[in-house]
Structure 1
Amino acid sequence: MCDAEEQDLYAVLGASPSDSVQQLRHRYQQLALQYHPDRLLQSSSEAAGSRFVEVEAAWRILRDQNTRRQYDLQRREECVYTYCCRCGGGFSISEEETRKSQQDDEEEEAGQHRGVLVCCDTCSLTVYVTWSLNGKT
């Protein structure tokens, strides 16, 4: 399907994992109209064409319930921390997100706390995950 190093398919569509198929379809249609090579001038069609290919590939996976479920499971396997939501979905933070947050933390003063908002993958709930900047969690 896709490798861990590939871009997040939801991010390609400018959507979130909790979006419905109808919402994903709407985002896909907007982006397809925006980046379709036939709609653009010749000079910008190459860059737009590659962006259109990304959008089309993301939509092909996320539009089908089975392939979307497989993709979501693959994304969850790459997560470091997970927590179950009351809706049955889950909150998760990937290894990449924790590394980026830790790099940001190095710029902060010692003794402070830092955190990140994490959204549920199926509903609209969010949690704020915090950690101490002095290295003690």
Structure 2
Amino acid sequence: MAARAPRPDPYGALGAGPSAGAAELRRRYRRLVRTYHPDRQSADAPAEAVEECVRKFIEIDQAWKILGHEETKKEYDLLRLEDDLRNLGPVDAQVYLEEMTWNEDDHCFSLSCRCGGKYRVSKDEAEEVTLISCDTCSLIVELLPRS
């Protein structure tokens, strides 16, 4: 199996962490755009420096297209979480949502782990995530599409 190319990090492009709020991300984006916009570069700057600024500007713009909108940011954060879980270790089991128990009090589906902990996923998350980690150990289950 070929190795997957690393996913660009929009948080890194904006110099922010995943916990940064919308206002912080917007502030960082605007500051970086003012710095790297091609029209703001000196006319006598070396071609290599201008090319680097254009490359950086495009990277910043692409990051903002992901993190600047609540829905696309949420999708990216879920993909990032899934990648993090994949890197933790192998998938312990594959389950269908129908095999999990609906908990009305918590408004989530749950499944007991062999360690005694629980795998938990909300209705909304169940449609978007494929990996769920146990709340007390490092085991992971893969949530399969509805049968």
The alignment's TM-score, normalised by the length of structure 2, stands at: 0.51
Cα deviation per residue 1:59-118 (whole Å; 9 max; x = unaligned)? 01101100000000000111134xxxxxxxxxxxxxxxxxxxxxxxxxxxxxxxxxxxxx
| 1-structure distance, mates of 2:59, 2:74 | 19
Q: Which residue of 2 aligns with 1:32?
A: 33
SS in 1 for 2:33: helix
In the alignment, the residues of structure 1 paired with residue 61 and residue 28 of structure 2 have an alpha-carbon distance, to the nearest angstrom, of 11
The match for 1:75 is: 80
Residue 19 of structure 2 aligns to a residue whose secondary structure is: coil
Larger radius of gyration: 2
Moved beyond 4 Å, runs of 4+: none
After superposition, residues 48-127 of structure 1 pair within 5 angstroms as 48-79=53-84, 80-81=87-88
Taking every aligned residue pair, what percent have the same amino acid on both sides?
39
User: Using the alignment, how far apart are the partners of 2:25 and 2:72 within structure 1?
Assistant: 14
> 2:10 corresponds to which residue?
9
Greater CA drift, 22-31 or 4-13: 4-13
Secondary structure, aligned partner of 1:78 = helix
Q: Secondary structure at the match of 1:17?
A: coil
Identify the residue that residue 22 of structure 2 maps to in structure 1: 21
Pairs aligned (count): 80
Q: CA deviation at 1:41?
A: 2.1
Structure 2 gap ranges (5+): 89-147
- Which AA in structure 2 matches 1:15? A
Q: For residue 145 of structure 2, what is the aligned residue in structure 1?
A: none
Q: Which amino acid aligns with 2:35?
A: Q
**Shift in Å, 1:8:** 1.1
